[in-house]
Amino acid sequence: MYHALYSSPVGMLRLVSDEKGLRQLWLPNEIEEKFCPAEWIEDGDFSINRQIRDCLDAYFAGEKRRFDNLPLAPVGTAFQQSVWKALLTIPYGTISHYSVIANALNNPKAVRAVGGAVGRNPISILIPCHRVLGKDLSLTGYSGGLPIKKALLDLEKISYRS
């Protein structure tokens, strides 16, 4: 694995990738909680890390709005993968709800399981779980903390209830 730090408007992020793609994007609180194994190589010039860094630069500048063409390679169960793929279909500046995602997966009773998969998204921001809100537009949580979710929603000019 190759990892690199990225300084963003929401704090320091860590990119974790290999030849298959970006595996993880650690948010600031995760950087404090997790440690890189000794065998991981710190390399900001690794091609995928460079590509992701350029994409994040454009996103935080308000230019990059789609991430489905990036080499994203999160590791998870088949169900988690299907939820994360569904998250990639939520357009920039819009929201979705857990029930909408469950219905899109032809599994309307899986709302809680969808919530669990959203919460385990290893590539936050680029797999845009911050765009999932409660039906009343309330913030329903975010693995990186609500201040970061609010900042991302504000960047995309998405309305929400605090």
pLDDT tens for the chain, residues 1 to 162: 999 999 999 999 999 999 999 999 999 999 989 999 999 999 989 999 999 999 999 999 998 778 888 999 999 999 999 999 999 999 999 999 999 999 999 999 999 999 999 999 999 999 999 999 999 999 988 989 999 999 999 999 999 998
Q: CATH number of the domain at 36, please.
A: 3.30.160
Q: How many domains does the chain have?
A: 2
Residue 145: the pLDDT is 92
Give me the domain span that covers residue 145.
78-156
101 and 148 co-located in one domain: yes
Q: What is the pLDDT of residue 65?
A: 78
Please tell me the predicted confidence (pLDDT) of residue 9.
Answer: 97
The verdict on whether 36 is a catalytic residue reads: no
Shared domain for 82 and 49, answered yes or no, is no
**Which stretches within 1-145 are classed as H helix?**
28-33, 47-60, 78-87, 98-104, 111-119
68: in domain: no
Mark whether 49 and 118 lie in a shared domain. Answer: no
**CATH code (residue 88):** 1.10.10.10
Q: What is the pLDDT of residue 85?
A: 96
Which string of b and e fits 34-73 if b means at least 16 CB within 10 Å?
eeeeeeeeebeebebbebbbebbeebbeeebeebeebebb
Check residue 72 and give its pLDDT.
Answer: 97
pLDDT the model gives residue 64:
78
| 148 and 83 in a common domain | yes
* Claim to verify: residue 56 and residue 86 sit in the same structural domain: no
Per-residue pLDDT, 136 = 92
Q: Which of 13, 16, 117, 129 is catalytic?
A: 129
Residues 86 and 151 grouped into a single domain: yes
Same domain as 87, residue 21: no
